[in-house]
Amino acid sequence: MRNKEEKTMLEVIEPDYMAEFSCIGLLCPDTCCRGWDIVIDEATCERYEKSHNAEFKAMISRAIVHRKEETDEGEKDIACIRMGKGKRCLFLCNDGLCMIQRKTEETNLSETCRTYPRVIYIWNEEYAERSLCVSCPAVARLILERKEPLRFVTKKIAASELDGLRITDKNQRLETDCLPLRRFLIQVLQDRKLSLERRIELANEFFWKAGGLSGHHAEKKFNHLVDFYQQKLKIAETIRSQDVSAVINNTLIVHQLDGIRQLFFQRLQNPELRPSFRQQLKTVLSHWQLNEESQISQNSVQQYIEDKEFYRLFFLPQYSGLLENYLVNEVFKNIFITEEGAPFYVEWFRLLIQFVIVRALLISALPEDPEALVQEHIIECIRQTSRVIGHDGLYLQQVMSQLFANQLEEAAALQDFCNRLLGGNNLEIKEI
Ligand code: SF4
């Protein structure tokens, strides 16, 4: 009896906010049933095809479209829900309820619809990780309004609670060696004795050194690096005055602006971008006078320096906890390495470009918009960006293929780009 019970229980690690989440349904200002592609997983497609409910089957066949997508394993057929006017799901009723759920039952919803905004991984058939996505308004408030750092808890739940909700494929296996990497990234990002900017730089530096380690001595090298960065954190704490006074170096600023310009123009190429977000991107480009072709001007540099100083003096003291919780949630949710998955750096790159876009939107709004220092506005900016960038795998592919096409050393090129976006304000601490 005891054995049977143990088999059905699963260990889950999750941030301590999980139990507080509940969907706000009809009160939601931005329902998850509108504004993006809703993919229907293969198992759900098969279930729909086998349905004996003729009315339901006819409704489904009208509402599902198929498209071809390039994946690592070649061209794949992707089934999506056909979107109506305003990119609204055809199954979304005027009262905000879902027609599939109403006509049949909740278990008939696709994996995406049943799971969102939860992100659930079951690793190596042994343990699970759950977190939430800030693109949902209720989640954004839950995570970003909180003052204290995110904490992670381990609990046991009945494995059946996660039936039909996992994101991981059955055969996807986690390189468990990557977990200490993620833990240390979170430790660095939560070191509130340092400025947030410095924490991000250190986390980025550490990630590129530690993420690619492999071979017999990888563990030893990793531990050595952790010791080194522990020391670096301590030294940075003792000389915090240097930490906050950014060395104003025009070359670094030009690099940062150039990176922002590339990311923004790349994003504007998407014809389906939400008009409000498109306008926000254009406003930033025009605020810093960034054109696609011409060189970064001295006026742009000067304006950026002033805006960033404003951000450092007025924004960060009030909101670095909010940005920290956002980053830590993203790291927990996305940074892991699978045995057969994408190269180790892809998700870190995605996380950083998303953060840099959020930061650019916030910094440029400060001198222009009186609402820019209002918490609600900041949360909405992060949420929107997460929705239009974090959930768009195509954008990541486009950035990588256009900016780094034909680069033999893709990892080195991406690392260099990340360093430039963060505009390293490095302290001179000799590596041991
Ligand atoms: S976006 Fe979040 S709050 Fe809004 S309907 Fe979806 S789950 Fe509910």
For ligand 1, pick from 21, 27, 30, 165 the residue to mutate: most ligand atoms within 8 Å of CB: 30
Say if residue 12's pLDDT is above 80: yes
Q: How far is the CA of 144 from the centre of ligand 1 (A)?
A: 16
Percent of the chain whose predicted confidence (pLDDT) is above 90:
45
Percent of the chain whose predicted confidence (pLDDT) is above 70:
90
Mean pLDDT of 366-382: 90
Say if residue 408's pLDDT is above 70: no
171 in any annotated domain: no
Tell me the pLDDT of the chain averaged across its residues. Answer: 85
Pair (76, 116) in one structural domain: yes
How far apart are the C-alpha atoms of 207 and 345, rounded to whole Å? 8
Mean pLDDT of 99-115: 79
26 in any annotated domain: yes
Q: What per-residue confidence (pLDDT) applies to 300?
A: 95
Say if residue 400's pLDDT is above 70: yes
Q: What per-residue confidence (pLDDT) applies to 3?
A: 52
Pair (182, 273) in one structural domain: yes
Pair (188, 157) in one structural domain: no
Q: CA 191 → CA 19, 69, 238, 318, distances in Å?
A: 25, 41, 13, 16
Q: How far is the CA of 168 from the centre of ligand 1 (A)?
A: 22
Lowest-confidence segment of 27-36, 84-93, 193-202, 398-407 by average pLDDT: 398-407
How far apart are the C-alpha atoms of 75 and 152, rounded to whole Å? 38
Lowest-confidence segment of 165-179, 197-211, 245-259, 391-405 by average pLDDT: 165-179
Identify the top-confidence range among 36-40, 219-223, 428-432.
Answer: 219-223
The ligand 1 atom at the shortest distance from the C-alpha of residue 28 is: 4
How far apart are the C-alpha atoms of 162 and 14, rounded to whole Å? 13
Q: Residue 260 sits in which domain range?
A: 178-422
Pair (149, 184) in one structural domain: no
Read off the pLDDT of residues 331-373 as tens digits, 9 standing for 90 and up: 999 998 888 777 889 899 999 999 999 999 999 999 888 888 8
115 in any annotated domain: yes
Ligand 1 pocket (Cβ < 6 Å) reads 23-25, 28, 31-32, 117, 136-138
Pair (275, 186) in one structural domain: yes
Read off the pLDDT of residues 297-327 as tens digits, 9 standing for 90 and up: 999 999 999 999 999 999 999 999 999 999 9
Q: Where among 162, 188, 208 does a domain terminate?
A: 162
- The CB-based long-range contact list for 366-375 (8 Å cut-off, 24+ gap) reads 366/307, 366/310, 366/311, 366/314, 366/315, 367/306, 367/307, 367/310, 368/283, 368/287, 373/314, 373/315, 373/318, 375/145, 375/319, 375/322
168 in any annotated domain: no
Mean pLDDT of 60-89: 79
Mean pLDDT of 117-141: 91
For ligand 1, pick from 18, 32, 133 the residue to mutate: most ligand atoms within 8 Å of CB: 32
Q: What per-residue confidence (pLDDT) applies to 259?
A: 94
Pair (239, 387) in one structural domain: yes
432 in any annotated domain: no
Q: What per-residue confidence (pLDDT) applies to 429?
A: 36
Question: For residue 32, which of 86, 94, 113, 132 has the smallest C-alpha distance?
Answer: 113
Pair (241, 150) in one structural domain: no
Pair (357, 269) in one structural domain: yes
Q: How far is the CA of 45 from the centre of ligand 1 (A)?
A: 23
Pair (214, 131) in one structural domain: no
Pair (343, 302) in one structural domain: yes
For ligand 1, pick from 17, 21, 22, 28 the residue to mutate: most ligand atoms within 8 Å of CB: 28
Q: How far is the CA of 28 from the centre of ligand 1 (A)?
A: 6
Per the structure, the count of domains in the chain is 2
Amino acid making up residue 98: C
Q: What per-residue confidence (pLDDT) applies to 392?
A: 77
Identify the top-confidence range among 25-29, 240-244, 286-290.
Answer: 286-290
Identify the top-confidence range among 8-22, 102-116, 246-260.
Answer: 8-22
Say if residue 251's pLDDT is above 70: yes
Q: Ligand 1, atom 7: nearest CA belongs to which residue?
A: 23
Q: How far is the CA of 56 from the centre of ligand 1 (A)?
A: 24
Pair (143, 195) in one structural domain: no
Q: Ligand 1, atom 2: nearest CA belongs to which residue?
A: 136
Pair (126, 207) in one structural domain: no
Q: Where among 132, 162, 192 does a domain terminate?
A: 162
Q: How far is the CA of 10 from the centre of ligand 1 (A)?
A: 27
Mean pLDDT of 93-113: 78
Read off the pLDDT of residues 130-179 as tens digits, 9 standing for 90 and up: 999 999 999 999 999 999 999 999 999 888 888 766 666 666 788 877 89
The ligand 1 atom at the shortest distance from the C-alpha of residue 117 is: 7
